[in-house]
Amino acid sequence: MLNKFSGLNIKNFWWDVRFLKWSGQFIFLILLITGFLYIFNTGVRNLEATNLPFSWGWLGDTPGVSISEGFAPLPNSGRQMLQVGMYNMLRITLTGVVAATFLGTILGIARLSKNWIVEKAATGLLEIVRNIPLLVQMLFFQYFILTYPPLRVADRGDITVHVSSKGIAYPWPHPQEGSWLFASFVILSLLISRRIFKWRIKILEEEGKEPYPFRWSLTVLGALLLIGWSGGYKAMGVIGIVSTLLSQLFEAVPAIAYQSLFAIFSLFYGYKYIRRQISKSNTGELGGILSDEDYFRMAVAGFLVIAIAVLMFLPFGLKIGEFLEGDEIFYKADWGVPQYFTGIANKFDMSFSGDPYELSYPKIIQVRDTKFTRYSKDHGKVTTVGYFATWLGVVLYTSIFISEVVRSGIMAVSKGQSDAGLSLGMRPRSLLRLVILPQAFRVMLPPMGNQYLNLAKNTSLGIAVAYPEIVAVGQTLYNQEGQTMAVFVIWMGFYSFVSLFISGIINYYNRRFELVER
C-alpha cells in the first residue's frame, strides 16, 4: 500500500481508505446512538404512562424507613440513606481487602510448603471454598449465627465477649477527643521510620556495614508511638492552626477567584499537552506524521479542557442569573470550602487532652420496659449478623483466589534465581525477601487488583443476608419511591467510581514496578 497519509485522492474519493474507515465508524456510531435513543425514548414514554416520571427530587424527601446499621439509622433524606449504604459497603471493602490479602498470602505460601499436611490442608480448603457459590457460603454463615440463642431480658448487663442470634459483641477502643491528632501523629511516625529505613539501607550500599534497618526503624517507630500516646500527639495541633488560617483565607477570597484559577490552569495544561503531542510526533521515526490515534487524543483532550473551563464558570453564570432575579448585590458561588477547613480545625484542636482511644466493653440493654433486648451501640463493638456473614463470606472467597495469585506469582520466578541466591550463601529467609518476592510481586499485582475489584463487587450479595449495603438500600428506596432508573444510575456511578479508584491505585503501583525494557 502506498503511503496512506498522502493527500486525498479526489478522483476516487468515495473509495479512499481513510474516508471509508471514518465514515464506517461514524455510521456505526450514529446507528448505535439511534438505537440507544429509541430505547431511551420508549423508556421515558412508558415511565410517563405510569405516573412515575423520572426525577431526582426524592433525594431530598424523607424516606419512612430505618436502616439496621450505619451512621444514621433513621436517615432524614434519600441522599443520606444512600450515603449510609455506601458507607456500609466501603466498610466491608476496605477491611476486607486488607484481611483477604493477609489471609490469601498465608494460604498461598502454605500451598507451596514442603510440609505435607499443611499443603494438603490449604489445597483442601481452596477446593472446598472455590467450588461452592459465594451466596451459598454467605447464607450458611448467616444461618450459623442465627442458631445461637437469642438475647433475653435476664442477660442484661456488662459483658466481655458474647455471641447471640443478634450478632457478636466484643470490647473495642473508642475514639476520644484527640483521636484525629493521634492518627495523624501515627502517619507522621510511619513516614519518619520509613525514611530512617531507607537511610540505613543507603548506609549498607555505601559502607558495606550491617545497618540493621529493621531494628533501627522499628525502635524509632515504637519510641515515637509511646511519646505520641502519652501526650505528644498534641504537636499535630499545628494542622488545626493551618486549617484555621486557610479557612480564613478562603472566606476572604470569592469563589469565582479560585474557580477561574482552576479553569486557567486546566486550559494551560491542555494547551501544553496538545503541544507536547504535536512535538512528540515531530521527532522519532514517524517524522511529522500523526496517526489517527494522536488526532483523536488531541481532540478529546481539547474537548475535556474546554468542558472543564465552561463548567467552572457555569455555576457562576447560573448564580449571576439568580443575582439578577434576587435582590442581593454580590453573590458568591458557595462550594463550602471555608466550612470544610473550619471542620478540620475543630478536629485538630491543640487543647485536647487525655488518652486518644479508650477501651470500651459491650453491654446488653433492655429497650424501655419491653421484652426487646439488644446490644448497646455506644459500648464496645457489635458485629451484626449481616456484617458477619457478608464480611466472612467475601473475605474467605477472595482470599482463596488471592492465594492462587500468590502461588502462581511465586512459581513464576524461575528456579535459577533461588539457586543463584542459595549458591551465594543467602539464608532461605533473606532469599524469599530479597530475591523471590520482589520479582513475584510484579507478576502478582494486576491479578491481585482484579481480585480486589471482585471483592468490592461481591459485597453486593449482602442483600441476601440482610446487610444494608448500597444495593439493599437502593432496592428499598426504589420500592418506596418507584424511581428504579435513578437508583440504577446511582449504582452504576458508585460502583464505577470504586472500580476506577481501585484500578487507578493498582495501575500506579504497576507502572512503578514494571520492567523497564529497551
User: By CB under 8 A, which span of 131-139, 177-185, 255-263, 374-382 interacts with other proteins?
Assistant: 131-139
The span from the CA of 26 to the CA of 17, in Å, is 14
The phi, psi pair for 146, rounded to 5°, reads -70, -15
User: By CB under 8 A, which span of 18-26, 247-255, 317-325, 509-517 interacts with other proteins?
Assistant: 18-26
User: Cβ of residue 371: shortest distance to other proteins, in angstroms?
Assistant: 15
User: Cβ of residue 93: shortest distance to other proteins, in angstroms?
Assistant: 12
Query: Residues 6 or more apart from 138 whose CB is under 8 A from it?
Result: 389, 390, 393, 394, 461, 462, 464, 465
The span from the CA of 355 to the CA of 174, in Å, is 10
The phi, psi pair for 358, rounded to 5°, reads -130, 135
- Using DSSP, state whether 167 is helix, strand or coil: strand
User: Cβ of residue 223: shortest distance to other proteins, in angstroms?
Assistant: 31
Residue 196 makes contact with other proteins by CB under 8 A: no
Residue 496 makes contact with other proteins by CB under 8 A: yes
Residue 133 makes contact with other proteins by CB under 8 A: yes
Residue 419 makes contact with other proteins by CB under 8 A: no
Q: What is the DSSP string of 412-449?
A: HS-HHHHHHHHHTT--HHHHIIIIIHHHHHHHHHHHHH
Tell me which residues in 149-168 interact with other proteins (CB under 8 A): 149-150, 152
User: Cβ of residue 188: shortest distance to other proteins, in angstroms?
Assistant: 35
Q: What is the CA 461 to chain-centroid distance, rounded?
A: 18
The span from the CA of 52 to the CA of 122, in Å, is 54
User: Cβ of residue 25: shortest distance to other proteins, in angstroms?
Assistant: 4
Among 80, 93, 101, 137, binds other proteins (CB under 8 A): 137
Residue 469 belongs to what H/E stretch? none
10-to-5, 6, 7, 471 alpha-carbon distances in Å: 14, 12, 9, 57
Residue among 24 and 343 whose Cβ is closer to other proteins: 24
Residue among 149 and 288 whose Cβ is closer to other proteins: 149
Length of the chain, in residues: 518
Residue 461 makes contact with other proteins by CB under 8 A: yes
Residue 428 makes contact with other proteins by CB under 8 A: no
Q: What is the CA radius of gyration of the chain?
A: 30
Closest CA to 87 of 459, 496, 487, 488: 459
Residue 128 makes contact with other proteins by CB under 8 A: yes
Per-residue cell: 345: 480545625
Residue 190 makes contact with other proteins by CB under 8 A: no
Residue 135 makes contact with other proteins by CB under 8 A: yes
The phi, psi pair for 159, rounded to 5°, reads -135, 165
User: By CB under 8 A, which span of 37-45, 170-178, 301-309, 384-392 interacts with other proteins?
Assistant: 37-45
Q: Quick count: other Cβ atoms within 10 Å of Cβ 223?
A: 12
Residue 499 makes contact with other proteins by CB under 8 A: yes
User: Cβ of residue 116: shortest distance to other proteins, in angstroms?
Assistant: 4
Residue 43 makes contact with other proteins by CB under 8 A: yes
Interaction pattern, residues 74-113, with other proteins; x per rule: CB under 8 A = ---------------------------------------x
Among 176, 302, 485, 507, binds other proteins (CB under 8 A): 485
- Using DSSP, state whether 364 is helix, strand or coil: strand
Residue 21 makes contact with other proteins by CB under 8 A: yes
Residue 492 makes contact with other proteins by CB under 8 A: yes
**Residues 102, 502: contact at Cβ < 8 Å?**
no
Residue 427 makes contact with other proteins by CB under 8 A: no
Closest CA to 148 of 166, 167, 164, 131: 164
Among 184, 193, 373, 460, binds other proteins (CB under 8 A): 460
Among 93, 193, 403, 458, binds other proteins (CB under 8 A): 458
Among 87, 140, 216, 229, binds other proteins (CB under 8 A): 140
Torsion angle of alpha carbons 195, 197, 200, 204, nearest 10°? -120
User: Cβ of residue 322: shortest distance to other proteins, in angstroms?
Assistant: 35
The span from the CA of 377 to the CA of 74, in Å, is 14
Residue that has been written with the C-alpha cell 418507584 in this structure: 482
Residue 48 makes contact with other proteins by CB under 8 A: no
Residue 169 makes contact with other proteins by CB under 8 A: no
Residue 256 makes contact with other proteins by CB under 8 A: no
Q: In what order do the strands lie in the sheet with 373-375?
A: 157-158, 363-366, 373-375
Interaction pattern, residues 291-320, with other proteins; x per rule: CB under 8 A = -xx--x------------------------
Residue 24 makes contact with other proteins by CB under 8 A: yes
- The β-bridge partners of 363 are 158
Number of residues that bind other proteins (CB under 8 A): 60
The phi, psi pair for 3, rounded to 5°, reads -55, 110
The span from the CA of 368 to the CA of 364, in Å, is 13
Q: Which residues contact other proteins (rule: CB under 8 A)?
A: 21, 24-26, 28-29, 32, 39-40, 42-43, 46-47, 113-118, 121, 127-128, 130-137, 139-140, 143-144, 147-150, 152, 292-293, 296, 457-458, 460-461, 463-464, 471, 475, 478, 484-485, 488, 491-492, 495-496, 499-500
